[in-house]
A and B are shown apart, each in its own frame.
Chain A
Amino acid sequence: QKEVEQNSGPLSVPEGAIASLNCTYSDRGSQSFFWYRQYSGKSPELIMSIYSNGDKEDGRFTAQLNKASQYVSLLIRDSQPSDSATYLCAVRGTPGGGSYIPTFGRGTSLIVHP
């Protein structure tokens, strides 16, 4: 059974701070890793994807992947109240197998307070 674990939160940070969101996964064969942001009543929006170990930066967002530790994180710099949402971690394996079905964590609720 593939699992993706996230702390449900809420994670509360002040405006301008760095928000750190974490995710662990059980399937060592996982190849693709995604972070989504979901506002209440809306569908998830892809904000970062990462495929190899290390850091990947895009604007205020940095995704970090450590396959040996089966750990992926998302850092949000200069957090804004508009970043308040639920952040979903998703993991996917290689094509052709059952692990190719993406597995989602339950999401971490982030609250950025002014």
Chain B
Amino acid sequence: GAVVSQHPSRVICKSGTSVKIECRSLDFQATTMFWYRQFPKQSLMLMATSNEGSKATYEQGVEKDKFLINHASLTLSTLTVTSAHPEDSSFYICSASSGGQHEKLFFGSGTQLSVL
């Protein structure tokens, strides 16, 4: 199946620093990628829809200035958590669609962010 690569897998940082997470579709072009956040034992929460070459669409309650999304190419989307605080500690996961009539949605391996 198609592969979505996400890096880094784990980040520990001090409060106030910014963290960038990369999501790459390795063997297909993804015009749309999705970013999720998941707290322990909770369901996936969609943060934003990332569209190649245009601004991301954020879900209600998600601060676009806090979570910067860039989708500069058909295979790469990045999420930057700016001025991270302990409450931003979470599991961040990206997903990408393979497109086509029988498209499939694949997830990256996720990034566990811990802000001290």
Contacts and interface: CB of A to CB of B under 8 A. Distances in A.
A16 interface: no
A102 B105 contact: yes
B34 A46 contact: no
A43 B109 contact: yes
B44 interface: yes
Given A101-B34, A101-B49, A46 B107 contact: yes
B43 A46 contact: no
A43 B103 contact: no
A45 B107 CA distance: 7
A32 B103 contact: yes
Contacts of B107: 36, 43-46
A43 B108 CA distance: 7
Contacts of A101: 34, 46, 49
A48 to B, nearest CB: 10
Contact of B105 (A42, A46, A105): A46
A9 to B, nearest CB: 12
A101 B6 CA distance: 20
B106 interface: yes
A7 to B, nearest CB: 13
Interface in B85-116: 91, 93, 95, 101-110, 112
B61 interface: no
A42 B112 CA distance: 10
Contacts of B32: 100
B44 A46 contact: no
Contact of B44 (A32, A44, A45, A92): A44
B45 to A, nearest CB: 9
Given A44-B44, A104-B43, A90 B109 contact: no
Interface of A: 32, 34, 36, 41-46, 49, 51, 88, 90, 92, 100-102, 104-107
Interface of B: 1, 6, 32, 34, 43-44, 46, 49, 91, 93, 95, 101-110, 112
